[in-house]
Amino acid sequence: MKRFFLVALWFATAAAAQGFPNKPVKLVVGFSAGGPTDVIARIIAQDMTAAFGQPVLVENKAGAASMIATQEVKRSAPDGYTLYMTTLTHSVNAILHADKKPYDPIADFTPITLVCHLPLVMVAKGDSPFNTAADVVKAAREKPGEISYASSGNGGSAHLAGALVEALTGTKMLHVPFKGNAPALTEVMAGRISFMFYPMVGIAEQVAQKRLKVLAVSTEKRHPDYPSAPTMSESGFPGFEEYTQGLGVVGPAGLPAPVVSRLNEAIRASLVKPDTKEKLSRLGAITEGGSTPAEFRSFLAKDLERWERVIKAAGVKAD
């Protein structure tokens, strides 16, 4: 009887997957509309809509550093109709709030694919005395606690990149969080904050006008948009590029394998389309055609280990 039940369940699951999707799919983003994660999600969703013949709708659930969105997806039905666009906060929130155990970033979700990496640029005011990352570190050693760095919020990519510099150099700097990248960058350009790590896209004009200077890039190789700027590795931080934020797509735990396969194929097909690759490149995203679900699970496990080390070494705490 048990064997019969399992066989029947397998056929039912396979039949459901063959018809998937037969209604709109929701792709949840844990941040407000207009940011890099949201824009990337909408580009992918548009391609998935064309592939499925069903709408793939991006839904913004901002708040609590994306934890509201994460927990909503965790609680959703494991049928493939509610997905989540992960960022590094997927791992970081679980680490920072470990005492509350809000979710397990791996066990509570089904990995579908890695989408892209979003590198950062280390920037300072255009006429800042700092010309390199080494200049910042030197000043931080000479004036502990006086050198400051801005971010779009506690636990985000910019914050953790700055914390990583502190951890690797044994320096102590002042982290100043803002509600978004724009106000943080304004303070850097005004010279009230020493530097910040900023998403790759959106600063070319300020650099050209010499309102900002690029001290380094977090990519593995020099970036064509800023060819004179050294990489963080060249600046004395080997392996820094391994901490570049990865974006991916997951569903709740227990998604049927045929549904996962269908979703994986659709997203990876999107990522190799020339026009999609160009759009993502203009956002500063680095794409490699996606990954298998198993490869993405491995990435998430390593990402959790990476950020646990940084958070522990830098003493990062939840708000």
Distance CA 107, CA 167 (A): 29
Alpha-helical runs (H) found in 176-292 = 181-189, 204-208, 257-271, 274-282
Decide if pLDDT at 117 tops 80: yes
Q: Return the higher-pLDDT residue of 293 and 17.
A: 293
Distance CA 126, CA 136 (A): 14
Distance CA 89, CA 105 (A): 10
Nearest Cα residue to 136 out of 215, 210, 212, 78: 215
**Average pLDDT in the 70-93 region?**
96
Read off the pLDDT of residues 140-180 as tens digits, 9 standing for 90 and up. 999 999 999 999 888 889 999 999 999 999 999 999 998 88
The predicted pLDDT at position 5 comes to 46
The model's pTM:
0.88
The predicted pLDDT at position 35 comes to 83
Read off the pLDDT of residues 221-245 as tens digits, 9 standing for 90 and up. 998 889 999 999 999 999 999 899 9
- DSSP 8-class letter at 301: H
64: left (phi over 0), alpha (psi -120 to 50) or beta: left
Decide if pLDDT at 212 tops 80: yes
